């Protein structure tokens, strides 16, 4: 592709050409795409390390067994006789995710198929030709039916992506932008001061590990289902959420482990990980507990986690306040103490692993009150260019009347 002989024989088509098709790449084409997009999404990994990570991500919970689909836009009129290799004009990935839906009149949550879209990429030599736009137009239609064989309606509920090019481009393609606020907690010594009173009643803090994660995910989903039914009735809007299930959380955590295993030279996988602590739970009384699950993110291509500490981030994937339904916006003191204890553990973990900040996405009114009462240093950040949650809705409702519940980092892919 791009050789002189090919360019002499093969003319690249207009983005509106009927011969352009959305299809799936070969293994060699995937590797070629990963090699080119490494600069965009390789983070702290070298190219060689990135080329190991991407295949690995197709073998872990959520994305294995066809859970991840690779897509390319190519030209169906091309043939080998025209020279070179098949043209890849744009590429992306989708992940099959379980979503929960509640309409105002529903008495039970409906489960459905959703898709997370990531790694939207145009080959450098084709930029400016609107091939990515053509691919997205095709993709939005394709995902409506993709992997929905077991659905009663034969339609997906939605697809979502996280824009790194602002709020307008993807909205014009059908993925409407949703709130993109996060609260940033800087890592500093005074942020981590304070006792969690380990083993002393309501202040007890327990680490979240692979051993207890699954049980907590089950509790979380049960609470989320109840919350969505209430919220749909209160707002008279259809509510949707990506299920915060065990496979979704482990996808983030296995990804984290793999990267850390390279940066810190340990072995990947749940049995021998860089950090066994995947979150923290405070409180002992069921129904009053607070917990968070988190993952690490490193920047820069040097392979050294210490090179970009101020940018390296510990992301709160999911924050759960068990008593959220009864707390309102004036949380009781025990919940404030539990939230503060969990966040201090997160800050300590961040410091341990060369991460300069902790980010918490789209806090609810209750969580905003907890942050203020915690007295932790923090600042709100309204993202207008990067990681903008964006959704295409396949139902009959107007997307602007859809309530995205639990719009947190765990949804991202």
In a domain, 398, yes or no: no
pLDDT tens sequence across 298-324: 987 666 788 889 999 999 999 999 999
What's 82's domain CATH number? Answer: 3.40.630.30
- Does residue 404 fall inside a structural domain? no
Q: What is the DSSP string of 82-136?
A: GSSS----EEEEEEEEEEEEE-TT-SSPEEEEEEEEEEEEE-GGGTTS-HHHHHH
Measured distance CA(146)–CA(116) in Å, rounded: 12
Count of domains forming the chain: 2
Q: Are residues 284 and 368 in the same domain?
A: yes
Q: Is the pLDDT of residue 198 over 50?
A: no
Mean pLDDT value of segment 41-65 = 96
- pLDDT at site 153: 67
User: Domain check: are 141 and 188 in the same one?
Assistant: no
Summarize pLDDT for 262-282 with one digit per residue, the tens.
Answer: 988 754 544 444 578 999 999
The answer on 157 and 93 residing in a single domain is yes
Q: What percent of the chain has pLDDT over 70?
A: 89
Q: Give me the residues paired with residue 319 across strands.
A: 292
> What integer is the mean pLDDT of 319-338?
93
The per-residue pLDDT for 388 is 98
Per-residue pLDDT of 370-408, as tens digits, reads 999 999 999 999 999 999 999 999 999 999 999 999 999
Residue 195 has pLDDT above 60, yes or no: no
pLDDT at 193 over 90: no
Q: 170 with 286, same domain? A: no
pLDDT at 6 over 50: no
Check whether 192 has a pLDDT greater than 80: no
One domain for residues 139 and 9: yes
- Same structural domain, 199 and 232: yes
Is 170 in the same domain as 225?
Answer: no
29: pLDDT strictly greater than 50: yes
The verdict on 167 and 309 lying in the same domain is no
Any alpha helices (H) in 14-81, and if so which ranges? Answer: 27-41, 47-56
pLDDT given for residue 305 in this prediction = 82
Q: For residue 36, which phi and psi values (nearest 5 degrees)? A: -80, -35
Burial tier of 41 (Cβ tally within 10 Å: 0-12, 13-18, 19+): middle
- Give the mean pLDDT of 243-259: 97
Q: Residue 129 belongs to what domain range? A: 4-48+66-177
């Amino acid at each position: 592709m791009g050789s002189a002989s090919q360019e002499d024989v093969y003319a690249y088509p207009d983005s509106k050409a009927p011969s352009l098709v959305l299809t799936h790449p070969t293994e060699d084409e995937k590797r070629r795409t990963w090699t080119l997009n490494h600069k965009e999404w390789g983070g702290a990994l070298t190219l060689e390390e990135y080329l190991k990570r991407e295949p690995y991500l197709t073998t872990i919970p959520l994305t294995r067994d066809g859970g991840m689909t690779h897509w390319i836009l190519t030209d169906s009129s091309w043939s080998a006789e025209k020279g070179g290799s098949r043209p890849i004009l744009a590429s992306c990935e989708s992940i099959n995710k379980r979503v929960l839906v509640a309409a105002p009149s529903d008495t039970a949550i409906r489960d459905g198929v959703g898709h997370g879209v990531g790694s939207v990429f145009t080959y450098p030599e084709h930029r400016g030709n609107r091939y990515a736009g053509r691919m997205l137009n095709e993709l939005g239609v394709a995902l409506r039916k993709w992997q929905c064989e077991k659905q009663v309606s034969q339609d997906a509920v939605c697809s979502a992506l996280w824009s790194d090019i602002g709020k307008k481009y993807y909205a014009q393609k059908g993925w409407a932008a949703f709130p993109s606020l996060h609260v940033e907690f800087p890592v500093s010594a005074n942020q981590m001061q304070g006792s969690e009173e380990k083993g002393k009643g309501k202040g007890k803090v327990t680490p979240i590990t692979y051993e207890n994660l699954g049980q907590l995910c089950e509790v979380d989903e049960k609470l989320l289902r109840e919350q969505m039914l209430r919220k749909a009735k209160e707002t008279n809007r259809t509510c949707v959420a990506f299920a915060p299930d065990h496979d979704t959380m482990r996808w983030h955590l296995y990804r984290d482990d793999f990267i850390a295993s390279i940066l810190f030279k340990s072995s990947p996988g749940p049995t021998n990980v860089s950090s066994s602590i995947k979150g923290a739970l405070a409180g002992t009384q069921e129904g009053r507990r607070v917990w968070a699950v988190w993952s690490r993110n490193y920047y820069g291509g040097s392979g050294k986690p210490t090179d970009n500490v101020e940018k390296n981030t510990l992301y709160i994937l999911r924050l759960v306040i068990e008593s959220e339904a009864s707390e309102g916006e004036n949380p009781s003191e025990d919940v404030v103490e539990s939230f503060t204890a969990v966040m201090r553990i997160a800050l300590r973990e961040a410091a341990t692993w060369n991460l300069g900040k902790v980010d918490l996405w789209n806090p609810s009114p209750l969580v905003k009150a907890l942050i203020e009462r915690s007295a932790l240093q923090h600042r709100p950040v309204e993202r207008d260019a990067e990681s903008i949650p964006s959704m295409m809705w396949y139902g009959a409702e107007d997307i602007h009347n859809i309530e995205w519940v639990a719009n947190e980092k765990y949804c991202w892919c």
